[in-house]
Structures are given as C-alpha cells and as structure tokens.
Amino acid sequence: MKIINTIAEMKEIVRAAKSDGKNIALVPTLGYLHEGHVSLIKHARKAGDLLVVSLFVNPLQFCPGEDFEKYPRNEGWDHSVCRKNGVDIIFNPMPEEMFSVDHSTYVNEESLSQSLCGKTRPGHFRGVATIVAKLFNIICPSVAVFGQKDAQQALIIKRVVRDLNIDVEIVVLSTVRDQDGLALSSRNEYLNIDEKQDALCLHEALSLARILVSSGERETKRVIKKMEAVINQRKTAKIDYIKVTDSETLHSSDQLKGSVLIALAVYIGKARLIDNVIVHIEEK
Amino acid sequence: MKIINTIAEMKEIVRAAKSDGKNIALVPTLGYLHEGHVSLIKHARKAGDLLVVSLFVNPLQFCPGEDFEKYPRNEGWDHSVCRKNGVDIIFNPMPEEMFSVDHSTYVNEESLSQSLCGKTRPGHFRGVATIVAKLFNIICPSVAVFGQKDAQQALIIKRVVRDLNIDVEIVVLSTVRDQDGLALSSRNEYLNIDEKQDALCLHEALSLARILVSSGERETKRVIKKMEAVINQRKTAKIDYIKVTDSETLHSSDQLKGSVLIALAVYIGKARLIDNVIVHIEEK
C-alpha cells in the first residue's frame, strides 16, 4: 500500500495504471474510517483493479462555525483499516495541496442542493461537488463508491456526474448501523454515553415512519408529526429537519407516493447526525 | 472527416482513439468560423493526432436579451472550413443533447469572472466554464486551443483547469485581424458598411494606448481618457468598458506596471465587440 500526498504523484500513478489497462475504483472519505467505510472499500476492492481511498477533511464542505477544526482525525488507524482491506493507494493530501491560495472555481449543483441539509449547511454541497470533481479529475476512477447515509450527497454527485459528463459509475451502498440501529458516522465520536442512547431516536423515528407507511398512512404531515414526537422524548435531541420527499427529485409533497425518501437531521448535544430510509409505495 | 451529433458517439470515438494511444486536440467554437478560428485549427492540427472541432452555440453563455437566437450560423460553411483544414471530427450536438431538461450543475469561476465582460454579461462565464468542462470531459483532449481576443475567457479557462485539476494543456493564440486591424469575430457579421468603419476604433484606441505606454505614460486614468476620446469620435460607437488591469489577476490599478491587459468592449450599432492588447512595462 502506498500513501500519496501530492497531486503530481497521484496523477503519475493513475497514468501508469491506465496505460496498463487497469480500472481504478475510488472511495472518497474524510477519514476516521468506520465499518460503513469498510463496506464501501470492500465493494470497491472487487470493482476495480487499483483501489484508491482518499482521506481528506475538505475545508470547503464545512460551513463557518461548523466542526472543521475538531472533526475527528486518526491517520494511523485509517492506514491500518485500509491496509487490512486491500487498499492499494491512500491519497491523503494537505488542504494547501488541494486548494491554491487563489482558488476560485467551484462546482455548484443548484437544484437538489437547495433543500434538506443544503438549507442548514449553505455552501456544504458546493464544497462536496467541487472536491469530488477534483478527485475524479485527479484519480480518473471508473467507479466511485458512496454511502446511502448521505442520501442527498449521493443524489447530487450522480447529478454532477451526469450534467458534467464525467465518465465514472457512482455506486451507492446501504447505510451500515450498529447493533442498536445507529447509523455509523465519524461524528458519533462526539457522543457521550447518554447522548449515544438518545441518538437512537433517529433510527426509531425512521422505523416508525416505515411502519406507518406500511400500515397505509399516506399523509406526509402525520408521519412527520409522529416522528417528531419520538425525537422530542429525548432530552439531548433537537430536530434540525424531518423531510419526506421524492427520492430522486427531493421535491416534497403532501401525500406519500412512489419512491419516497424520509430523511432527518437531529442535533444530539453538539453532534449533528443524519439518517434516512427510502420507502416504495405501491399504487393501489 | 466525421460529423458527430451525440455525446455517446463522441465518447466512443474518444475511447477508441485513447486505446490507440492517440492524443486529442480540441478547438471549441460557436461555429461561423473565420480566419481566427482557422489559426486555432491549424495549430491544433499539429498539436494532436486526432483533431476535434466543436461547433456549439451554447445557450448557457448568452444572457437574457442577448443575441443567442440570431447569433450567425452556417453549418455548411463551417464543415467546408474544417474539411479544408484537416479536421478529423466535428462535434456538433444540439442543445437538448448537451443539457438535460433538469440540468442543474454549473462550473463557476468566482474571481476573474467578476470584472470586464463579467460585469456586463452576468452568467456568461458560468456558461463558458460549464460548457468547456463538459466538452473536456466528453472529448478528453490533451490540448485545447483558444484565441487571445477573448482574453478574459482564456484566463478563466486556465483557472478552471488548474482549480479542478483537469488534465489538458490550454494554448492561447494571438488575435487575428483583418487588414484594417479589426479583430475577427463572428459578430462582425452584424455590422453594416458604416459600422464596419466605426468598428476600427477599438483597434485604434488600443494602438493609441500602446503608443502612450511606450512613450512613458503610466497613469491608467489618462490612458483610458484618451482611448475614450478616440472611440467617442465614432457615431455608432458606445463604450461598454475600457479597463487596464494586471494581465493575470485582472486587478485594476492606478499606475500601469508589470504585464498589463488593456481591454475594451464597445457597442457598434447592435454589435457588442471586444478587443485587447497586453503590454509589458519594464521597470525603470
């Protein structure tokens, strides 16, 4: 396994791999890897000849006042996880390597980015789309693997790839949860024992929504109200949003129909956690 | 010479060329080709194994109220110019092929785009950067050739390529002029005989600026004032802007120093024409 810190070295490796006819698989991450990332890495290991994992806490996708500085980092751990899972190349540049002091070009998805997390985190998806476009241009993957926990991010990346004609297949894998149902996230690190218990409310609310839908509930408002009740029972929980939308367009509607994304963001203490499910509603 | 209308066919040709180890040279144009384009095509012919010229009047780079609908088009002529100059592939898609109805991703250069033409034409450079990124992703050129007449566009494209780590060399070639000094442009087509005479004022003003600088003038204001006087003598001319800036950063300054871009945009009747020179000022 090689650890690469510069764009020039990374491009050199990509050129060599391409001229050997190798396909590249990429798993872009912010590091602090958990079993969710491992599931992406394992999939990517089978999907490409050369497996690249990027570890980059991208300053551009953190808004002012967010947790960029204290976002958890542990390179030693990340390297050992990658080594154990057959990663060929870790791309681990410094922010100064990725962004010139006079960097001024951004990739902006202007429709899907407007709702859900895009409302609470203005500029976040601009940062995501820009860094992902850069990584795709540097690493030229045939396939890139993302997690469904970041449902909106996955949709936006697919849109960017389509709209800018980037030649890469985007694979989105199911959210990995701990035994209690909590979606794995590097930000779970922020939770103390009580908060970790309270954090289960995200999954509980989504599970309730799923039950309501399968028992015939079609009123968006009623679903959201009952989800809110579940979350508001928890002392350290504060709802950022609960949204019920079309799973492709992210348009909201009063009535649940078709393929529906139920997504939420909840502050548990200082940690802002997100989770979602997609439910398919059969026409009567 | 092949004429290609779909992205899928174009990508297939690119894949085949790449696997044969061929380098691709691209000249992106709006069509209605003139000798300025021909100089780009001739350069590109030598720079790549496979020479692609794109003909695409990109709706995204025209602002509301601009001349998108009546922008001059003549495919038959363009094809014959390309054939005569050894072009291998014309990429000539329809707008519907390039932009999905729900297209929502844009490449935005946010610094160099703010001044000069960016002020008069809000959204223009967003349209340029987006289409150029798309063409680069579809055609994967090793080299792409642009004209210095569009000085700001050339700077912005270089910046986009650097910031997004796109693997392409950007070549910028000198402005081609007619025998009277008028910079060639498809929009010269709009000029009647009197206007064509008046349009010479752009070149005259730039020539005067050059003379002023070489005779020691260093005051930006005085240079601009004398250029304005030259243009205002012409009945059909209306100044959009005259700017004297650093040729790399496009920052204005009161004193001319270093490498200086002198650029202007002037309406001649309904036609908005642009031109520029770069002068290098030696330190005393």
Q: What would the DSSP string read from start to end of B236-269?
A: TEEEEEEEEEETTT--B-SB--EEEEEEEEEEET
ipTM > 0.90?
yes
Q: Which helix (H) or strand (E) holds B15?
A: helix B7-19
Query: How buried is B46 (Cβ within 10 angstroms: 0-12 exposed, 13-18 middle, 19+ buried)?
Result: exposed
The number of residues in chain A equals 284
| Counts for chain B of helices (H) and strands (E), in that order | 10, 10
Q: Distance (Å, rounded) from C-alpha A37 to C-alpha A150?
A: 12
Does A79 participate in catalysis according to the annotation? no
Nearest to B137 among A108, A111, A165 (CB): A165
Q: What is the mean pLDDT of chain B?
A: 97
Question: Residues 6 or more apart from A150 whose CB is under 8 A from it?
Answer: A274
What mean pLDDT comes out for the span A159-171?
98
Largest distance between two CA atoms of chain B? 58
Model confidence at A129, in pLDDT bands (50, 70, 90)? very high
Q: How confident is the model at residue B144, as a pLDDT?
A: 98
The per-residue pLDDT for range A3-50, each reduced to its tens digit, is 999 999 999 999 999 999 999 999 999 999 999 999 999 999 999 999
Sheet strands side by side (includes A237-246): A237-246, A258-268, A271-281
| Selected residue of A4, A9, A12, A105 to mutate for chain B interface (largest B Cβ count, 10 A) | A105
Nearest to A111 among B102, B112, B163 (CB): B102
Q: How confident is the model at residue B282, as a pLDDT?
A: 81
Model confidence at A283, in pLDDT bands (50, 70, 90)? confident
Inter-chain residue contact B166 with A137, CB threshold 8 Å: yes
Nearest CA in chain A to B7: A165
Task: Determine how many CB atoms are found less than 10 A away from the CB of residue B197.
Answer: 16
> What are the tokens at B21?
């180890």
The residues with which A109 forms a beta bridge, in sequence order, are B105
Q: How confident is the model at residue B283, as a pLDDT?
A: 73
Nearest CA in chain B to A8: B165
**Residues of chain B found within 8 Å of residue A108, distances taken between Cβ atoms:** 105-108
Question: Residues 6 or more apart from B220 whose CB is under 8 A from it?
Answer: B244, B252, B253, B254, B255, B256
Q: How confident is the model at residue A254, as a pLDDT?
A: 94
The per-residue pLDDT for range B73-109, each reduced to its tens digit, is 999 999 999 999 999 999 999 999 999 999 999 999 9
* Helices marked H in B20-150: 35-47, 75-84, 95-98, 117-120, 124-139
Q: Distance (Å, rounded) from C-alpha A268 to C-alpha A242?
A: 15
> What are the tokens at A55?
């570890």
What mean pLDDT comes out for the span A86-101?
98
Inter-chain residue contact A109 with B105, CB threshold 8 Å: yes
The residues with which A171 forms a beta bridge, in sequence order, are A145
Q: What is the mean pLDDT of chain A?
A: 97
Phi, psi of B264 (to 5 degrees): -150, 155
Q: Distance (Å, rounded) from C-alpha A32 to C-alpha A78?
A: 6
The model scores a pTM over 0.90:
yes
pLDDT beyond 70 at A284: no
Q: How confident is the model at residue A133, as a pLDDT?
A: 98
Q: How confident is the model at residue B18, as a pLDDT?
A: 93
Inter-chain residue contact A105 with B110, CB threshold 8 Å: yes
Nearest CA in chain B to A12: B167
Residue B175 is classified by DSSP as: P
Are the beta carbons of B180 and B197 closer than 8 angstroms? Answer: no
What mean pLDDT comes out for the span A240-244?
98
Q: Which of A34, A37, A43, A251 is catalytic?
A: A37
Q: Backbone dihedral region of B171: left (phi > 0), alpha (psi from -120 to 50 degrees) or beta?
A: beta
The per-residue pLDDT for range A66-90, each reduced to its tens digit, is 999 999 999 999 999 999 999 999 9
Question: Residues 6 or more apart from A171 whose CB is under 8 A from it?
Answer: A43, A44, A47, A143, A144, A145, A146
Are the beta carbons of B147 and B45 closer than 8 angstroms? Answer: no
Are the beta carbons of A55 and A79 closer than 8 angstroms? Answer: no
Are the beta carbons of A257 and A242 closer than 8 angstroms? Answer: no
* Helices marked H in chain A: 7-19, 35-47, 75-84, 95-98, 117-120, 124-139, 151-163, 193-198, 200-214, 220-232
Domains delineated in chain B: 2-173 (3.40.50.620), 186-277 (3.30.1300.10)
> What are the tokens at A121?
């985190």
Residue B190 is classified by DSSP as: G
Q: Distance (Å, rounded) from C-alpha B248 to C-alpha B155?
A: 7
Residue B167: helix, strand or coil by DSSP? coil
Q: Distance (Å, rounded) from C-alpha A99 to C-alpha B126?
A: 20
Angle between helices A35-47 and A75-84 (to 10 degrees): 40
Q: How far apart are the first and last CA of chain B?
A: 54
Q: How confident is the model at residue A282, as a pLDDT?
A: 81
CA dist B269 → A77, A169, B177 (Å) = 67, 50, 20
Residues of A with CB under 8 A from a CB of B: 7, 11, 100, 102-112, 129-130, 133-134, 137-138, 159-160, 162-167, 249
